[in-house]
Structure formats: C-alpha cells, structure tokens
Amino acid sequence: MSTATSANSEISAPSQSFAKELRRAGRSLFKAKWPVLAILILIAVVTASAIGPLIAPKDPNRQNIIKRLQEPYTVERSGEVEFLLGTDGLGRDVLSRLIYGARVSLLVGLTAVLIGGTLGVSLGLIAGYFGGRTDDIIMRLADIQLAFPFILLAIMFLVVLGPGLLNLVLVLGIGQWVTYARITRGQTVSQREKEYVEAARALGKRDLAIMFQSILPNIIAPLIVIASFNVASVILAEAALSFLGLGVPPTIPTWGGMLAESRDQLLAGRWWLAVYPGIAIMLTVLAFNILGDWLRDFLDPRLRTIG
Amino acid sequence: MWQFILRRLLQSIIVIFGVTLISFSALHMAGDPTYLYVGERASEEEIARTRAALGFDKPLHIQYLTFLSRLARGDAGRSLTYRQPAMDVVLERLPATIELTLFAMFIAITLAIPFGIVASLNRGTAVDGGMMTLAMFGQSIPSFWFGIMLILFIGLGLRWLPISGHVAIIQPLLEGNFREAFTNFPQAIRYLLMPAITISLFSLSRNSRLVRSSMLEVLSQDYVRTARSKGLKESAVVIRHALRNAWMPVVTMIGLEFGFLLSGVVVVETVFSWPGVGRLVFNAINQRDIPLVQASVILFSLLFVGLNLIVDLLYARLDPRVRLG
C-alpha cells in the first residue's frame, strides 16, 4: 500500500499546479456534500473563537441570581427574549458561554495536535531513517506509552501538575506523538531506499535535510488525514478532562466544564444546560471527522484503513 | 513460535518497567511530592516528618527501587482518604468496572459485526448511508454527554431504565456464590445497559465502519467470486467465506479495545454513579488522593499489558503466518 501511495504522489504532484489542485479539491468537496457541512460548522466555530466577544450577547461570567435557571426562549415581561438559550445555575447566559467555549476547544485541539504532530513526526522520521538501535528505543517508548489507557495517563499527570491551559495542552499534545511516530516511521522505512533519497544523499545533502526536505513532503498525505481525526479526538479528550475538573480554571467557559456543571441540575430536568454544550462538542468533532474522511478519500483513497 | 513468545514476553516486561517508571516520575514532576501528602497548613516539622516517613528524602533511584519492590508485593502506598492500602481499595472496586467493560466490549463487537455486514451488502443504498451516518455521529459524540442524554430521556423522561445503581455479578462469583450471581443476572443487565451502551458507542461505531470496509474488500476477492459461482447460498458465502476474513481487523483490536473502554469508564462511571474504579478515580482527583490515582493507573496499565500479551499469543496460535514466521 505504502509503496503505491508514494509512487502515485511522486508522479502526480509536480505535474499539477497548486491552483488546479485547489479547484479539484473544491469540486470533490461539493460532490461529497458532507464536507460542505463540515466547512460550514468549522467557519461558525472559528468565527466564535476569533470574534466571540463581539458577537456574544452577554458577558459569559456575569451572574444574575434573580434570573437563574431560565428556560431557553423565556419571554420577559417586556415582551423580549433576553436569554435565547436560557441561563445556568448562577444566572449566566448559556449562549454567551457557548460562544466563548469554542475558543478553548479549538485552541486546545489545534495546539495539542501541533505539538504531538511535530514531536511524533520528528521521532518517526528519525526512527525510520536511521533504523537499528535508535529505531528500537523510540518504538519501545511508543509501546510503553500505548500501554497506558490515555485518559488515565493524562489524569495522573494533570492531578500532579495541577490543571490549567498550558498543562492541559502539553499533556494532550505529548499524548498524541505515538500515532504520528508510528505512521511516519512506517512510511519513512518504505521511502528510505528510494532513488530520490539516494540521489539526495549522493548530492551531499545532510541527513536532517533529507529527512525533512526530501522524505517528509512525500509522506505528508496520511499525516494530514491523521491530524484531522486527531483534532477531533483531542477535543473529545479535552471535554472529558474538563468534565472531570482537570481542564482550565472555571472562570474560563468551556463546553466540557458547562457539562460538568449541568450534572447538578440534571435530576431537576434542566435539560438545556446539558443539551447545548454537548451539541456544540458533537458538531465540532463531527466536522473534523468528516473532514478527515474526505481528506483521506481526496488525497489517496488507498489510505482507507486509517482511522 | 517459541522465539515469538519469548520476544513478546520480553517486550511486555520492558513495557511494565516503563509503566512503573512513568508512574513514579509523574509523582515527582511537580517537585517535592511531600506537599501532596500534607495539609496546606502543615508546619515545617510536620512536612519534614512526612517526608522522612514516606522516604522522599532519599535519592531518587533508591526511591524508585523501593517503589518497585513494594509494587512487586502489591503495595502501591496508602490512600490518603481511605487510610487503607491504595491497591486494596482499587481492587475492591475492580469487579464492577470489569463487568461494565466486558459488557460494553460485548456490545461493541457483537453488534458491530451484523451492522457492518448489513451495510456492506447494501452498499450505496439508503440503509448503508443511514448506518454510516449514524456511525459517524457515534464517533463524534462525547461519551459522557451521550450518557447524560440517556439519563435525561430514557431514564428520567421515559423511565425505562434505572439511572444509577449496580447489582453485582462478579463479586458473588468470586465468593463462590453461583446461585446469587445467577439470580442477580437479569437485574444486573438492567443497570448495566445504559452505562455500557454509553461506553461502547464510540467503539461500536468505529468497528461497524471497520467491518463494513473490510467486508467490501473481501467481497471483491476471487475466492468469494468462486464461492458464489459454485452456487453456494449467499448466506453461506457471507458467513463462511467473507466474514471469517473480514472480522480480522476487529479481532486484532480486541486487546486495544479493552484498554480504550477502560479509559472510558472514568467519565462514564461518574455520570452513572457506578461503584467502580472509574468513579473512585474521579473522587480521588477531587480529593487529590494521589496514591489512589497512581494505584488505579498502574493496575489498569498492567491489566492492559497482560491482556494484549494474551491476545497476541492467541493470535499467533491462530494465524499460521505469525506462528511460522
């Protein structure tokens, strides 16, 4: 599979111009329909995280005890609807908290994947390119990490280090490297003996340059696919950790944190506190999953076994 | 074959060492771990006494060796909240968690196979499209939120199933009380149903997609065409020829699946107030009972490593390519 993949990208990549490729991507996007939905969701989420303070109707932390636990779309005496999606136990506006919450999910998801991806790809390239003892050590480390159920490992470190945005991103990010390292290593091994690598070596290119400039561009397709799915699973993990109280401090609204707070109101039937943040997480994660599926089909249908 | 087993065993031992080393270093990541054990208003003298009592004043490598030798005897320190050996507290809760995980695994595998087959046989139709859309959603829903929704609509709304509680099966079995385990069974399933569905949702969705795509691959193979042209019934072709190869990707993942489901229990047990290790960990987090968290993580990891080893060895026994290779 992997040899076929690389052969394909080697032949087709240079002959097609970027604009042409982009048009092909656009056409395939609309033909598959679902990705359009994904893009729309992502535009909404990115907008919410970028200009949240401008579009949120209220201050997400402003408490209003008199108007606590208002149902969504409650009509005030003045005939207006003040809280479109209701208020929580402290009288805070659910819609505004939802909009602000997008920021943490997206920030954590993307940064953690960037950290994990960079680390994993580098180690995978090193392991695959040099082989031998280096390879053994790196892959054994990967095995060790895989032996931990991931959430538990994250819990252990966060309990000791204390919660907070930076710790959260680091733990989630470092937790992801194995996935990238394994794929990168496998791909690198299959590229190592190829003519273009040999040519680069003959031209006197240094190992580091060969790894990152020659090999990496040829194995990037499956990594992009993995990254898209990975953002989805990191967002889910962040929500779970926030739910457990190991996320960012409670003053920053997050979807997982909102769900955690909704637990106390569940038996009283305050459904809106639990329903909306969950839908927000689901749609965002869905968007990245759909995007991953489409990217896989678009970049190379033969990667179907991934994910 | 023997070489494979030996290599695999050696690998597991290295991994177990790694697990202990990481669990040990986690404790020391934030500096002197003594402060995790004493109250915020502890005096200098009290801190020094605790430090000496727990051995945190010794050099790190000595501490690690002590940690290892204690662990080998099943001692993972004392829980700060229970005032008992942490491992005992965790082990006491383990049966409830195993019940939940096994039942979830049962759902994730036994349902995924028919789902995947039906979707693959109806490729491109509304049935296939609908099922795969559902699976896509299933992979995107935060499991604990799905659990909350089940509680809200099935439990509180329709009142079909209990929203919390637990009836033991494994515990009476361990005590040799088979009759009790047997009579408990129907009740236990009622309590298990919602949490187990919640935990298995992600795996079920992923496995369905996996079975579908590997079925599609297998169905286009020559031997399936041969079987069909021999005039075999479609059901025989699917079950005897195609399925046997198509579920391999799922079988290979059973070990990993177990670990995956185990990590799911922490949040889901919290949602359903299930009296297992997961909820124990959640409470331990809130009370900063580090030894208890550590003991749970180590136990889960050991279970995971052991199970993967068993699955791999079984797999090697079953697959001639590994057995002879």
| pLDDT tens digits, one per residue of A100-151 | 999 989 999 999 999 999 999 999 999 999 989 999 999 988 888 887 778 8
Residue A286 has pLDDT above 80, yes or no: yes
Q: What is the pLDDT of residue B93?
A: 92
Per-residue pLDDT at B269: 92
pLDDT at A1: 39
Chains A, B: CB pairs < 8 Å: 153
With cut-offs at 50, 70 and 90, classify the pLDDT of residue A5: very low
| A4-18, A115-129, A221-235, B64-78, range with greatest mean pLDDT | A115-129
Cα B161 to the center of its chain, rounded Å:
24
Q: Please, which pLDDT band fits residue B315 given cuts at 50, 70 and 90? A: confident
Any residues with CB less than 8 A from the CB of B243 and at least 6 apart, and which?
A: B113, B117, B215
Residue A7 clears pLDDT 50, i.e. is over it: no
Chain mean pLDDT for chain B = 85
At A304 the pLDDT is: 52
Q: Least CA distance to A275: which residue of chain B?
A: B149
Share of chain B above pLDDT 70, in %: 96
Q: What is the pLDDT of residue B140?
A: 92
For B288, name the nearest residue in chain A, comparing CA atoms only: A159
ipTM score here?
A: 0.84
Subunit contact A155:B266, Cβ cutoff 8 A? yes
Mean pLDDT, residues A226-250 taken together: 90
Specify whether the CB–CB gap between B23 and A156 falls below 8 A.
yes
- What's residue A301's pLDDT? 61
User: Given CB atoms, is B266 within the 8 Å cutoff of chain A?
Assistant: yes
B236 CA: distance to closest CA in chain A (Å): 26
Percent of chain A, pLDDT > 70?
Answer: 92
Q: What pLDDT does A125 receive?
A: 95
Contacts of A152 in chain B (CB under 8 A): 262-263, 266, 281, 296-297, 300-301
pLDDT at position B182: 83
Per-residue model confidence (pLDDT) at position B294: 87
Is residue A180 within 8 A of residue A116, CB to CB? The reply is yes
pLDDT of B94 higher than 60: yes
pLDDT of residue A120: 95
Test A148 with B19 for CB contact under 8 angstroms.
yes
Contact (CB, 8 A) for A179 and A150: no
Alpha-carbon distance B320 to nearest alpha carbon in chain A (angstroms): 22
> Phi and psi dihedrals of B222, rounded to 5?
-60, -40
Q: How far apart are alpha carbons B97 and B94 in whole angstroms?
A: 5
Nearest CA in chain A to B307: A147
pLDDT attached to residue A235: 93
**Region B49-69 average pLDDT:** 84
Token pair, residue B248, equals 């391999």
Mutate to test the interface with A, among B11, B17, B120, B145 (most CBs of A within 10 A): B145
Contact (CB<8Å) B213/A271: no
Cα atoms found within 13 Å of the Cα of residue A29, Cβ hemisphere only = 15
Say whether pLDDT at B100 is over 80: yes
A105 or B74: which leads in pLDDT: A105
Query: What average pLDDT does the segment B273-285 reach?
Result: 90
Mean pLDDT of A264-269: 79
CA–CA distance, A59 with A70 (Å, rounded to integer): 16
Predicted pLDDT of residue A181? 94
User: Residue A157: pLDDT above 60?
Assistant: yes
Other beta carbons within 10 Å of A150: 19
CATH 1.10.8.420 fits A21-303, yes or no: no
Predicted pLDDT of residue B97: 93
Q: Report CB contact under 8 Å: B142, A282.
A: yes
Query: Are B29 and A156 in contact (CB < 8 Å)?
Result: no
pLDDT tens column, B136-169: 999 999 988 999 999 988 888 888 988 888 888 8
Higher-confidence residue of A39 and B165: namely A39
Query: Could B14 and A159 be called an inter-chain contact, meaning their C-beta atoms sit closer than 8 Å?
Result: no
Neighboring chain B residues of A278 at a CB cutoff of 8 Å: 141-142, 145, 148-149
Percent pLDDT > 90 in chain A is 35
Helices marked H in B122-253: 126-140, 143-150, 170-174, 178-219, 222-229, 234-236, 244-246, 248-252
* CA pair distance B139, A167, nearest whole angstrom: 26
| Dihedral over Cα of B53, B57, B62, B68: its sign | positive
Indicate if the pLDDT at residue A179 is higher than 70: yes
Query: Averaged over A157-165, what is the pLDDT?
Result: 85
Q: Which of A144, A170, A276 is most worth mutating to test chain B (most B CB atoms within 10 A of its CB)?
A: A144
Reported confidence tier of residue B179, pLDDT bands at 50, 70, 90: confident
Residue B191 pLDDT: 92
Q: What percent of chain B has pLDDT over 90?
A: 19
Structure tokens at A163: 């919660």
Is residue B85 classed as helix, strand or coil in its secondary structure? strand
Predicted local distance difference test score (pLDDT) of residue A3: 42
Do residues B244 and B319 lie in contact, with contact meaning Cβ atoms separated by under 8 Å?
Answer: no
Q: For residue A14, what pLDDT is reported?
A: 47
pTM exceeding 0.80: yes
B98 at A interface, C-beta within 8 A: no
Contact A266 B286 (CB under 8 A): no
| The two three-digit tokens of residue A306, written as one number | 């991934």
SS3 B43: coil
Residues on chain B touching A243 (C-beta within 8 angstroms): 142, 144, 267, 270
